[in-house]
Amino acid sequence: MNKTVSVIIPSFNEEANIAAAVANVLEAVKGRVEDYEIKLFDDCSTDKTGQIIDRLAAENKKIMAVHNQKNMGFGFNFNKGVELCRMEYISILPGDNEIELKGIETMFDNIGIADVIVPYVVNKDVRSISRQLISKTYVFIMNLFFRCGLCYYTGPAILRSDILKNMTLRANDFAFMSVALVRAVRKGYSFVEVPIYIRSRLGGKSKAFRFKNVVSVIITISKLFWEVYVSHRGQYCKRKIRIRENI
C-alpha cells in the first residue's frame, strides 16, 4: 500500500489559525508520504476564514476549498471529506492549529505501520483542569463501555481510507472519531498509539462543549453501544491488534 494521505481540515471562524494549520501540514508531509491532498472546509464562517482557504487553494493545486452554506458541524465535515478523499490514508486536523508540528510529523511517520494511527495528548496541562477532568472521564467511560483500551478517543486519528469508506459514518457530532475508532478496533484492524503535543489557541474558542453538542454526543455513544453489543454484535468480537509506535 502506498504511503499517501488525505488531510481534512474543518474550520469555523478560524481566521487567526487556519493558515498556520495548513502550513504545518505542508511541512509535515515532506519526506514522509509519497503524495498528499488537503480538503479545507469553511463551515459557514462569519469571519475571513472562507477567503483565506480560497487563497490557500489557489496557491496549491493539492488543496481544495469547500464552503458549507450553513454550519454543519465538525463530524459532518469529516464525513463529507471522506467522500472526497482519494489517498490511501485519511487524516483530520482541527483548523484551530492546536496540534504542534512535531505531533503531526509523528502521526505521519507511522502511516503504513498500522491500519489506524491513534494520537493521545501528552501535555494535557495546557488545558483547563475542568477540561482535563472531562476528557479523562470520557476516556474512562469509552474504555469501560467498549473495551478498546485506548488512551484517547477524540484526537486527530488517521485511518486507512477503505476502512472509512466502507464504514457507515452516521455521527455528525464531536463523537465522530470515537465512533470510527471503536468500530475499527473492535473489528480487529491493527492500530498504533502515538504521543502528540498541543498548544493553546491563538484565537477563538472551542465549540466542543456547547450544551447541544454534549447532548448529541451522549445520544451517539448510546447508539454505538447498541450497535456493538446488540444489533451488529457479530461484527465486533475480533481481538485487538496493537502495534508498537515506529520511533
Instruction: Give residues with Cβ within 8 angstroms of 235, minimum separation 6.
Output: 186, 187
> Which is nearest to 113 in space by CA: 177, 190, 165?
190
* Residue 68: pLDDT band with limits 50, 70, 90: very high
116-121/241-242 β-pairing: unpaired
Query: Among candidates 121, 120, 113, which has minimal Cα distance to 193?
Result: 120
* Dihedral angle computed from the Cα positions of residues 224, 226, 230 and 233, in that order, rounded to the nearest 10 degrees: 10
Spell out the domain ranges in the chain: 4-242
Give the pLDDT score at 173.
82
| DSSP per-residue string spanning 135-179 | HHHHHHHHHHHH----S-SSS--EEEHHHHHTS-----STTHHHH
DSSP characters for 48-82? SHHHHHHHHHHH-TTEEEEE-SS---HHHHHHHHH
Q: How large is the average pLDDT for residues 63-75?
A: 94
pLDDT score of 247 more than 70: no
Q: What is the pTM of this model?
A: 0.91
Instruction: Summarize the confidence of residues 220-229 as an average pLDDT.
Output: 95
> Please, are residues 61 and 31 in contact by the beta-carbon 8 Å criterion?
no
Average pLDDT in the 8-24 region? 96
Q: What pLDDT was estimated at residue 190?
A: 96
Q: What is the structure's pLDDT at 246?
A: 62
Strand (E) or helix (H) holding 192 = strand 190-196
* Percent with pLDDT over 70 in the chain: 93
pLDDT in tens, 99-132: 999 999 999 999 999 999 999 999 988 888 988 9
pLDDT attached to residue 211: 63
- Give 65 or 212, the one with higher predicted confidence: 65
pLDDT bucket at 209, cuts 50 / 70 / 90: low
What value does the mean pLDDT of the chain take?
91
Instruction: Say yes or no to pLDDT of 89 above 80.
Output: yes
Between CA 222 and CA 56 the distance in angstroms is 39
| 4-242: CATH topology | Spore Coat Polysaccharide Biosynthesis Protein SpsA; Chain A (3.90.550)
Give the pLDDT confidence score for residue 169 in this predicted structure: 62
In tens, the pLDDT along 35-49 reads 999 999 999 999 999
